[in-house]
Amino acid sequence: MKNLRTQHTLHIQLHGSEPSIWRRIEVDGSMTLTRFHDVLQASLGWTDSHSHLYMDRNPFIRGTIVPRGKPLTWLMPDSIDEGLEGEDESGVSLTKALERSGGQLWYEYDLGDSWMHLITEESSRVLDPQLPAARVLDGALRVPLENCGGLHGWYELLELRRAKTVDPERAYLLDWVKDQDGYFGNVDSEAFDAGEANMRVQLKLEGPRTDSVVGAWLGTLPAHARVPLAETLYRVGVDVFSSPGVGVMPLEAPHSMESIAWWIRACEGEGLPLTAAGYLTPATLAGVIEGIGWEHEDMVQFGGKTEANIYSLLAFRTMMMDVGLLKARGRSLVATPAGLRVAKDPNKLWQHLVKRARNSTRDRSVYDATMLCALAVAGAGDADAGTIRKRINEGLRMLGYVRYDGSPLEDDYYPSVGERWNCIMKAFRMASLENGDKGRAADLERAFSLGVLRS
């Protein structure tokens, strides 16, 4: 009898797929079949949204019952509670199940679409405790979209996507696929990435880190959204399991942060005078606008004679206070000790902004929208503001957000991204672009977003 601490190399094939959809994995045989189900879901890329079961053989061959009696079956505890006959999978190790089935298991996922998988033991050896409990070695192709009607439905969808013309009565199927093929979803049937599959396995078995920005965020998300968002983080170059860090400051950052550094210099010593209501005095406004280099910004809003009527300037100054670079001292706006420390060192200023760019997590919708914005901006290419907004709204819909009246968020909806983030991005654009805040400083914004996501 094999020792329970056996490491198995298994080949997993989606039965009936042509070309074959398969994975090769190494797994600790001491885990229960319940835990092995988690490994299968993550390595294959399923969403764990349906029931499943294991059998020692496929009970159907071309629609005919196999004449050897009922197969040995391992079921979810809930399935047993509902009256199905079989053994409880939570009480059986993978090694034991392979022994009893002769080294071959059948795994059925979604008893409606009936995704049947053949699991074959290729080799086994004594467990290496230095290796993870499970890892993906190789594979090919993504699994089908769930709820598409089984393999027949999946291949029909693929044919429709390749077709030059589509029967209007079948066009709704393409619309359904399109709804799932976006920035946070990938319906490329050829796609397979072993690194991404291993990330999913580790996330499923261990959960996200708690000491990093993305780990803390992922830990608050519903299970159906956690994996696709982690996959997107992987694709933009963010390792959700690495130690926190802010990355390398880009060469253009010092110039882009000049307006932020100017505020700190201007508020050294006695600082800038404030009114009794806490606004900059009217007499200082022209000098501040010139100092931060915003003369080309349209400041004539509701007269533009007081800071209260110049929203962009007020928001900028408020952000400087929120991130701990400035503070009010009596009737003066002064630099904080932290502000004075970082003002003369662009690297330290960059790191300070990266670590404080997100608003408080107390406003859940703003927190989620800001994190989604960082992830949307971190993507490759020079996406315009409309594309970034579309990506954010796709993520918000996935998280279950709707409009106040209950209607779905459209792609052009303006999400409530945090003011800190908006003001920092605006400061970068105002300094980097010839036309001020019209457009995007894509490379700089991407570098900053990646810094935030890696912190």
Q: How far apart are CA 36 and CA 54, in angstroms?
A: 11
Q: Which residues are CB-neighbours of 163 under 8 A, at least 6 positions away?
A: none
pLDDT greater than 60 at residue 63: no
Q: How far apart are CA 26 and CA 124, in angstroms?
A: 9
Residue in 81, 80, 55 with CA at minimum distance from that of residue 70: 55
Give the DSSP letter string of 297-328: S---STT--SGGG-HHHHHHHHHHHHTTSEEE
Mean pLDDT of 30-51: 97
Task: List Cα–Cα distances, 224 to 48, 203, 204, 400, in angstroms.
Answer: 8, 13, 12, 11
What's the pLDDT score for residue 303? 54
pLDDT greater than 80 at residue 302: no
Torsion sign across C-alpha atoms 125, 129, 132, 133: positive
pTM: 0.91
304 confidence band (pLDDT: 50, 70, 90): low
Q: Which CATH number fits domain 6-140: 3.10.290.30, 1.20.1740.10, 3.30.565.10, 3.40.1020.10?
A: 3.10.290.30
Which carries the bigger pLDDT value, residue 301 or residue 147?
Answer: 147
299 confidence band (pLDDT: 50, 70, 90): low
What's the pLDDT score for residue 71? 82
368 confidence band (pLDDT: 50, 70, 90): very high
What's the pLDDT score for residue 186? 84
* Contact assessment for residue 35 and residue 58, using Cβ atoms and an 8 Å cutoff: no
Task: List Cα–Cα distances, 351 to 14, 347, 354, in angstroms.
Answer: 47, 6, 5
pLDDT tens digit sequence for 259-284? 999 999 999 999 999 999 999 999 99
Q: Which residues face 117 on adjacent strands?
A: 14, 107
The helix or strand, by DSSP H or E, that contains position 266, with its residue range, turns out to be helix 258-266
Q: Which residues are CB-neighbours of 406 under 8 A, at least 6 positions away?
A: none
Which carries the bigger pLDDT value, residue 307 or residue 166?
Answer: 307
Q: How far apart are CA 30 and CA 125, in angstroms?
A: 13
pLDDT greater than 50 at residue 2: no
pLDDT greater than 60 at residue 65: no
pLDDT greater than 90 at residue 298: no
Mean pLDDT of 126-150: 95
3 confidence band (pLDDT: 50, 70, 90): very low
pLDDT tens digit sequence for 378-408? 997 788 999 999 999 999 999 999 999 999 9
2-6, 251-255, 301-305: the lowest-pLDDT one: 301-305
Mean pLDDT score of the chain: 91
Q: How far apart are CA 393 and CA 413, in angstroms?
A: 7
169 confidence band (pLDDT: 50, 70, 90): confident
Mean pLDDT of 356-361: 84
pLDDT greater than 90 at residue 58: no
Mean pLDDT of 232-239: 95
Q: Which residues are CB-neighbours of 203 under 8 A, at least 6 positions away?
A: 42, 218, 226, 227, 230, 240
Residue in 336, 329, 319 with CA at minimum distance from that of residue 419: 319
Domain boundaries, given as residue ranges, for the chain = 6-140
pLDDT greater than 80 at residue 431: yes
What's the pLDDT score for residue 247? 79
Mean pLDDT of 243-267: 93
Which carries the bigger pLDDT value, residue 432 or residue 192?
Answer: 192
Percent residues over pLDDT 90 in the chain: 77
Task: List Cα–Cα distances, 358 to 20, 115, 210, in angstroms.
Answer: 44, 42, 17
Which carries the bigger pLDDT value, residue 89 or residue 178?
Answer: 89
3-state secondary structure of 335: strand
What's the pLDDT score for residue 292? 94
Mean pLDDT of 6-26: 97
What's the pLDDT score for residue 359? 77
What's the pLDDT score for residue 327? 98
What's the pLDDT score for residue 170? 84
